[in-house]
Amino acid sequence: MRLIVLMMVALVVAGCDTAPKPSVKVKIVGDSYCKIGEKWKWDIKDTKPTIAQARRVNAKYDRICNSRKKTKS
């Protein structure tokens, strides 16, 4: 019985980390968020946490994309 258990453990351990790891190249484009993202819309009927989350996302969008609308003086 011990021999069978030892053989099973040896097979499991031998199979660990022997497969070649795939190589993936990723190109990170800094302005892609501004190209594909948009501001979140919320409704007055939404919950306070939902509205707060939408406002945080919109603030991040404004900060990153510099898309704040200037108020007219």
> Does residue 73 have a pLDDT over 60?
no
Domain ranges of the chain: 32-68
The token duo for 70 is 């200037």
Mean pLDDT of 3-19: 68
Phi, psi of 26 (to 5 degrees): -120, 130
User: pLDDT by residue (tens digit) across 14-61?
Assistant: 666 666 677 888 776 666 778 888 899 999 999 999 999 999 999 988
Phi, psi of 28 (to 5 degrees): -100, 125
SS3 at position 38 = coil
Q: What is the pTM of this model?
A: 0.47
Confidence class for position 70, pLDDT limits 50, 70, 90: very low
pLDDT given for residue 49 in this prediction: 96
